[in-house]
A and B are shown apart, each in its own frame.
Chain A
Amino acid sequence: MTLEQPNFLKLLCATRFAEGLPNKHLQCLCRGARLVRLSAGQTLFREGETEPDVFVLTSGHVRLSMNVPGRGAVDFLSAGPGDLVGWSGLISDGRMTATATARTDSVLIALSGQCLKEACEHDPQLGFVLMKRIAQVLSQRLLSTRLQLLDLFAEGTSA
């Protein structure tokens, strides 16, 4: 699924995740980057497996699911262009907490978790900027999850 080397710098800075990062940081991110193309139905990673890369979706639709015995794979969230998936690799041991499957043909930039970690250790400023971005992504996802949890549409709304 790996392709010829495209211009990662350009691709990446067009995503919401990397938008506005200074050039030197973008270059660090692109070190060891590769492009991943998935066709509809293909799985990017599986819950419980170790995944060394972190992915930024540039186009398409990837769904996250968790396996529930008796119910099978339960889809709980969609990721779209600009979204970050597989971030566990940066923070914990890289064991995935969900399965990611492409619903439509999708293109992702895979950033090497190892390279990123090293770059962050080496340049704490980059590390801070990157962690701030990830924290933002996670806080948005947490909010979204909470709103889903509140089951807002279950009772009366404006009519």
Chain B
Amino acid sequence: MSHHTSIQPADVSVAGLLRTDDLQQLIDALIAAGYDVIGPKIDQCAIVYDQITSVNQLPRGWTDLQEPGRYRLQQSDDSKYFGFAVGPHSWKKYLFPPQSIVSTATRTENGWQFSTDAPPAPRLAFLGVRACELAAIEIQDRVFLHGPWVDPIYKSRRDAVLIVAVNCTSAASTCFCSSTNTGPRCRSGFDLALTEIAGGFVIETGSESGRAIAARLPLESVTEHHHAEASSARAQAEAMMTRKLRTDDLHDLLLGNLKHPHWDDVATRCLSCTNCTMVCPTCFCSTVTDVSDLTNDHVQRERKWDSCFNIDFSYMNGSPVRNSIASRYRQWLTHKLASWQDQFGTLGCVGCGRCITWCPPGIDLTEEVVKLRDAVHANSEDPS
């Protein structure tokens, strides 16, 4: 079992080369070690994460074309297993499920009895975790594990996960992980990491559990040539990345301009549909409500993902505090990029680009930041 806190970059070493034809053996080894394997597969014209048992379920030879408000799958000219970026799903749906039971209540003769007992967390092996996603998991660890209170559901699931990362060898037009310093290279936070090259995968291990899995694989030794090929494949992802986000001034830029008219400008385009928060791998907002059976003798407290774009998210004394779309978009962006730094010592954005792709009107946070910055600077340079 992987233990996230034990994974340090110092642990990372190259274990060997796994031939393309032997990839099934990795899945088999994970299953043999007691894991359900979760990996990418195509569902409804998108690459999503789901349980897999065979390499045939992987989206081999497919790639994703992403633009603001647009996502399309396309057959690529190579037959790579991992020649795409990230889709609408993220691993958070397994660590912080969209729906979970935090506690139950049962009416007895002696009043209500409460329980927080939960079924044991599933042992999952994530196959194909990208660098930005490793960073997102690390960020959610800070939220759910390293604050004054630990979320028991997240903790039990997190402790039961094994992570097989994959280094990106291409980037979508929406990616900007170089800017947030979260990729594209997987440096830590994994048990195993793969770099796909012609003929196979260069495998690195990052933990004891990773090494144990690697030991069961028919690995060949990695030659100079393989090394060179792997680094140039990784460099290609870096080279393809065109989108940028300047991060050094974000905190003061955003929090210093809470009353800027630009928020009203975004509000004319934003539908407050919550897509951006649902696809974001770091967003963690939720709401707990009571669900009872017909007799009202058994009650479950159900936690569901929520979004700061929902109007009743800020309800207080009968009316919402954030009544306008401008105030809700402002809450989202200032949280992601600014107040997150105060709260958790890091940006809340890992540059995965999902919110750009899955925003129906194609609102691009990197562009909104530029527009706000330009507007603020233009104003301050105004001779008047």
Interface string of B316-329 (1 = CB under 8 A from A): 01100000000000
A156 within 8 A of B: yes
State how many angstroms separate the Cβ of A141 from the closest Cβ of chain B. 29
- Give every chain B residue within 8 A of A156 (Cβ-Cβ): 317-318
- State whether the Cβ of A151 lies closer than 8 Å to any Cβ in chain B: no
Q: List, in ascending order, chain A residues with CB within 8 A of B317's CB.
A: 155-156
Chain B: which residue is nearest A159 at the CB level? Answer: B317
Is chain A's interface secondary structure helix, strand, loop, or mixed overall?
loop
The residue in chain A whose Cβ has the minimal distance to the Cβ of B319 is: A155
Shortest CB-to-CB span from B321 to chain A, Å, is: 13
Size class of B's contact patch? Answer: under 10
- Which residues of B sit under 8 angstroms from A155, Cβ to Cβ? 317-318
Q: Separation in Å of the B114 CB from the closest CB of chain A?
A: 24
Interface bracket on A: under 10
- Closest Cβ of chain B to A148, distance in Å, is 20
Nearest CB of chain A from residue B320's CB, rounded to whole Å: 14
| Distance of A95 from chain B, by nearest CB (Å) | 43
Give residues 112-159 of A contacting B (CB, 8 Å). Answer: 155-156
Task: Kindly state the separation between the CA atoms of A156 and B318 in the bound complex, as whole angstroms.
Answer: 9
CA distance A155 to B317 in the complex (A): 8
Kindly report which residue of chain B lies nearest to residue A157, judged by CB atoms: B317
Q: How far is the CB of B277 from chain A (nearest CB, A)?
A: 28
Q: Which residue of B lies closest to A155 (CB)?
A: B317
Q: How far is the CA of A18 from the CA of B318 in the complex (A)?
A: 46
When C-beta atoms are compared, the residue in chain A nearest to B317 turns out to be A156
CA distance A156 to B317 in the complex (A): 6
Please give me the residue from chain A that is nearest to B316 by CB atom: A156
Q: How far is the CA of A155 from the CA of B319 in the complex (A)?
A: 12
Instruction: Tell me the B244-297 residues at the A interface (CB within 8 Å).
Output: none
Nearest B residue to A158, CB-CB: B317
In the assembled complex, which residues on chain A have CB atoms less than 8 Å from the CB atom of B318? 155-156
Chain A nearest CB, measured from B305 CB (Å): 28
Q: Which of B166-192 contact A (CB under 8 A)?
A: none
Q: How far is the CA of A156 from the CA of B321 in the complex (A)?
A: 14
Nearest CB of chain A from residue B316's CB, rounded to whole Å: 8
Q: How far is the CA of A94 from the CA of B318 in the complex (A)?
A: 47
Interface string of A22-66 (1 = CB under 8 A from B): 000000000000000000000000000000000000000000000
Considering the chains assembled together, what is the distance between the CA atoms of A112 and B317 in angstroms? 51
C-alpha spacing A25/B347, complex, angstroms: 59
Q: How far is the CB of B117 from chain A (nearest CB, A)?
A: 32
User: Complex: how many Å from CA A155 to CA B318?
Assistant: 10
User: Which residues 129-143 of B have a CB within 8 angstroms of A?
Assistant: none
- Whole-angstrom distance between the Cβ of B93 and the nearest chain A Cβ: 36
CA distance A15 to B65 in the complex (A): 76
Q: Which residue of B is nearest A156, CB measured? A: B317
Bound-complex Cα distance A55 to B216 (A): 96
A151 to chain B, nearest CB (A): 14
> Smallest distance from the beta carbon of B315 to chain A beta carbons, Å?
12
Give min CB distance, A150 to chain B, whole Å: 14
**Minimum CB–CB distance for B101 against chain A, Å:** 28
0/1 per residue, B12-23, Cβ < 8 Å to A?
000000000000
A153 to chain B, nearest CB (A): 13
Complex CA gap A135/B318 in Å reads 38
CB contact list, B309-340 vs A, under 8 A: 317-318
- The smallest beta-carbon distance between B353 and chain A, in angstroms, is 41
Q: How far is the CB of A157 from chain B (nearest CB, A)?
A: 8
CB distance from A154 to the nearest CB of B (A): 11
A20 to B39, CA, bound (A): 77
Q: How far is the CA of A156 from the CA of B319 in the complex (A)?
A: 11
Query: Roughly how many angstroms separate A155 CA and B316 CA in the complex, as a whole number?
Result: 11
How far in angstroms is the closest Cβ of chain B from A158?
10
Determine the distance from Cα of A102 to Cα of B46 in the docked complex, in whole angstroms. Answer: 80
A156 to B315, CA, bound (A): 13
The 4 closest A-B pairs by CB, nearest first: A156-B317, A155-B317, A156-B318, A155-B318
4 A-B residue pairs with CB within 8 Å: A155-B317, A155-B318, A156-B317, A156-B318
